[in-house]
Amino acid sequence: MLRKETNGIAWHEFEGLEGSGVIHAFLTRLGGASAPPFDTLNLGHTVGDDLAAVEENHERAFAELGIRREQVVSPYQVHGAHVRLVSQAHTGTTQPATDGLLTTTPGVALLLRFADCVPILLFDAKQRAVGIIHSGWKGAAGNIAAAAVTAFARHAGSRPGDLWAGIGPAIGPCCYEVGEEMADTISQISPEGIGVLRRREGGLYLDLPGLVRAQLAEAGVQQITLSDVCTACHTGEWFSHRAENGRTGRFGALAMLA
């Protein structure tokens, strides 16, 4: 990924989308106003942080990305598998109980929030549609990745083979230890022949980005890029729910058609 930084706000972008007409950013935790343990660019309103600081963080991030607040649509994320089409009428709102947004309208900015769960950027250059999906293990259990591919087909006329997917910073198999019960669930939902559980030092570790990639591939997506950035390994730049024992902020993943 490409790392960019202006006025202390730092974000990562996938290479290969320059000139495609999609603006996107995975915002790091740097450059914000929040105090520990939400330091500093926390975009989560429901984690216990000072709300004035959270608002200030949004202002700073949008300013560097050249986005106006009135253009932004966010969902209230619930670890479900619902993906919603949004347009101009939804800007400035928070959508209830949704873990994926897509739009075909230029100038509508999608913002979702993360701390270990997998952010998926989906883009169809032919039909001009973009989306961001939030998939933790519950989202993966509900196969929100496949639900997103279906939503692109229904709302934008996208063929799965035309979709470009970028899997952003998330907790990696190096750090995501899971229990036996969850391992059973994961085994049942994993696409055939995909090994996403690894046993070492007596523990079981889940490759959640790998699972999401497999689900996207099974749904027909052929162009998939992984950031290979583990949030729990890099808490200097990313919020990690696991590595920071649940007391941390949320970083933003943002996308918009120019």
Which residues form the interface with Zn ion (CB under 5 A)? Answer: 172, 174-175, 230, 232-233
Task: Tell me if residue 252 falls in helix, strand or coil.
Answer: strand
User: Residues 37, 47: contact at Cβ < 8 Å?
Assistant: no
Q: Smallest distance, Å, CB 232 to Zn ion?
A: 5
| Complex with Zn ion: residue 1 or 78, whichever CB lies closer | 1
- Residues in the chain, how many? 258
Identify which of residues 57 and 231 has a Cβ nearer to Zn ion in the complex. 231
Q: Show Cβ contacts of residue 60 under 8 Å, excluding neighbours closer than 6 positions.
A: 7, 9, 31, 32, 33, 41
How many CB atoms sit inside 10 A of residue 143's CB?
A: 21
CA 184 – CA 97 distance, rounded (Å): 27
Tokens, residue 64: 């560097």
For Zn ion, give the closer residue by CB, 132 or 230. Answer: 230
Cβ nearer to Zn ion, comparing 123 with 176? 176
**Least distance (Å) from Zn ion to the CB of residue 171?**
7
Quote the least distance from Cβ 123 to Zn ion, whole Å.
27
Give the number of C-alpha atoms closer than 13 A to the C-alpha of residue 83, restricted to the C-beta side.
Answer: 28
CB 9 to Zn ion: min, Å? 24
Query: Are 110 and 73 a contacting pair, CB within 8 Å?
Result: yes
By beta-carbon proximity to Zn ion, the closer residue of 230 and 255 is 230
Residue 145 CB, nearest distance to Zn ion (Å)?
Answer: 21
Q: Report the residue number, 100 or 209, with the smaller CB distance to Zn ion.
A: 209
Instruction: Considering the complex, state which of residue 131 and residue 172 has its C-beta at the smaller distance from Zn ion.
Output: 172
Distance CA(229)–CA(240), nearest Å, equals 12
Question: 171: closest CA among 207, 222, 225, 217?
Answer: 207
Of the candidates 84, 86, 132, 96, which has an alpha carbon nearest to the alpha carbon of residue 251? 132
Work out how close the CB of 176 gets to Zn ion at its nearest, in angstroms, rounded to a whole number: 8
Minimum separation from the CB atom of position 236 to Zn ion (A): 13
Q: Token pair of 211, please?
A: 């699972």
Q: In one letter, which amino acid is 109? A: A
Q: Looking at the DSSP assignment, which residues form a beta bridge with residue 132?
A: 101, 121
